[in-house]
A and B are shown apart, each in its own frame.
Chain A
Amino acid sequence: MGARPLGQTADRPDVADPPLDVLVHARGLRKSYGQLEAVRGIDVTVRRGEAFGFLGPNGAGKSSTMRMIAAVSTASDGSLRVLGMDPATDGPAIRARLGVCPQDDTLDSELTVRENLLVYGRFFGLSRAEVARRADELLAFVQLGDRAGARVEQLSGGLKRRLTVARSLINEPELLMLDEPTTGLDPQARHLLWDRLFRLKQQGTTLLLTTHYMDEAEQLCDRLVVIDEGVIVAEGSPAQLIRDHSSREVCELRFGVDDHDGVAARLAHLGERVEVLPDRLLVYAADGESVAQAVHDLGLTPRSTLVRRSTLEDVFLRLTGRSLAD
């Protein structure tokens, strides 16, 4: 790697002293595992009260970044301040004020639902009485009050994730970190979790989450970075990213032919841009309906036509040439 060693960033005043309302301040952050460079120099600033997202496919470096911010993994290079402290030296003090909801549920399967909260709260040094009070509140919050005495193995994936969220809130964290919070959940469970996270956000909890679901990012994030192969390729609010990197609408066309490239060439003049995917063509234009009409007028007959608004998925496709859902 050979870049500058950790901490030698005093020549950059923004690094030396980030303002108080900045909870996460990363500059040139890198993480290597042997030969593999998972995170290749990213700059991130997360402010108090916002919901900030890392959007990217699996293996983009999201989880590695989250682990460094959560003070359970040391940065290979770059500078990182979390809650104004250095994770390399103040790990326990930082972790005391974070809530962490990891991608794989790390619930204690030998304990009951409620005991998971009681035991976890004690790790933060809370008194028994305080932990008991918060446990009951949180179980109600994630709608698990009636399952308090159940063993963790008996819970479905969605209930486990809700319990994990409840557990991550036991220390009333200033920053709640969620790694792929709804991956693997059915639609109903996802919506319930989104609703809970939205409430937290409204109560002023700062959220930091990773996701490879564009709808999740659009629903929850005030601001996000698109991350791919360990680097940030775009940053902004969901609406701003769509505005900057895609057209207003998209016309999706499915043809029953193998020659998508040939068809794409004939459509190129209809929109700002045409993307060829394995199973369909995407024509980007301000007015999708008129594209659909124009395709028809050319004498082409797609098997199906769908006109929709641009999403973060389109932004990602534009920026990386690849699809988010791999």
Chain B
Amino acid sequence: MSTGVVRPPLGRFAAQHLVARNYLVYRRDWVVFVTGFLEPLLYLLSIGLGIQQLVGDFVLADGSRVTYTEFVAPAMLAASAMNGSLFDATFGVFFKLKYEKVYDAVLATPLRPVDVAVGELVWSLLRAAVYAAAFVAFMAILGLTGSWWALLGPVAAVVIGYAFAGAGMALTTWMRSWQDFDFITLAVLPMFLFSATFFPLNRYPDGVQWLVQLTPLYHGVVLCRGLTTGALGVDLLVAVAYLVAMGSIGLAVSSRRLGTLLLR
């Protein structure tokens, strides 16, 4: 079954109705929504209050000097965008796909698999953007932003979320059971620890640096750190290109796979 050739009677933004459905569900579970703010915030406070005193200041590539908290905070922003968007796009999609059969019902309407994929992705990104906006505001209050570019933090979070939600949703279409999600955890945790999040790239052994630079979260961290510290460079554009490509491939694979699974 092809997913892209048919004329959609609802126009191009049919996916918005699925986003509205998710909003309706979350409006009731606002506690779950609010807890999403907490995790990165707690990391930030623990580092700001404790570790910074032990580590001292950092000199960035462009020669500017930042505190350790200023160095780590953008990495937390990137990591929370990753975690936040992955949750809905993997566990959320799997639950609706296999247990709730939400998409079976959705596809009995004019919506197409691509609308489902886009709808879930947009929803993940909206959440990521809201969390990121709050996080950046908190950074500003704590004096952790060294540039007006930091205002683009939520946009960076959306780009990062796009990459991870797209890829995560695509992988989810191959998941057979909840146990399979351990593979995602297995990929996410090392990335969280070793994507130049807590210490800079040049501290990694030479043979490992290229490996770090291949990971998507590394590019997310580069993007956020560049914006909040104001140390801009070409590497930010590379990061955006990498993340957008990853998300787009994920989205294309997701809508194809959803079609294969649901329109048998």
Contacts and interface: CB of A to CB of B under 8 A. Distances in A.
B108 A92 contact: no
B112 A91 contact: yes
Contacts of B112: 91-92
B6 A125 contact: no
For the complex, would chain B's binding face be called helix, strand, loop or mixed by DSSP majority?
loop
B61 interface: no
Contacts of A107: 105
Given A33-B264, A119-B24, A124 B109 contact: yes
A115 interface: yes
B180 interface: no
A171 B6 CA distance: 20
A92 B105 contact: no
Contact of A123 (B5, B17, B101): B17
Interface string A64-106: 0001001011100000000000001111110110101010101
Contacts of B54: none
A72 B21 contact: no
Interface residues of B, number: 30
B1 interface: yes
Given A102-B104, A124-B109, A124-B110, A72 B262 contact: yes
Contacts of B107: 72, 95
A98 B110 CA distance: 10
A120 B105 contact: yes
B48 to A, nearest CB: 37
A110 interface: yes
B100 A110 contact: yes
A44 interface: no
Nearest to B17: A122
Given A108-B100, A125-B11, 20 more contacts: A33-B264, A72-B107, A72-B263, A73-B264, A92-B6, A92-B7, A96-B9, A96-B109, A106-B104, A109-B100, A111-B25, A119-B20, A119-B21, A122-B21, A123-B18, A123-B109, A123-B110, A124-B110, A125-B14, A167-B105
Interface of B: 1, 5-11, 14, 17-18, 20-21, 24-25, 100-102, 104-112, 262-264
What 9 A-B pairs come out closest when comparing CB atoms? A123-B109, A106-B105, A92-B110, A100-B108, A106-B101, A122-B17, A96-B110, A110-B25, A125-B10
21 contacts: A72-B108, A72-B262, A74-B263, A88-B1, A89-B6, A92-B8, A93-B6, A95-B110, A107-B105, A108-B21, A109-B100, A110-B100, A115-B24, A123-B14, A123-B17, A123-B106, A123-B109, A123-B111, A124-B109, A125-B9, A125-B10
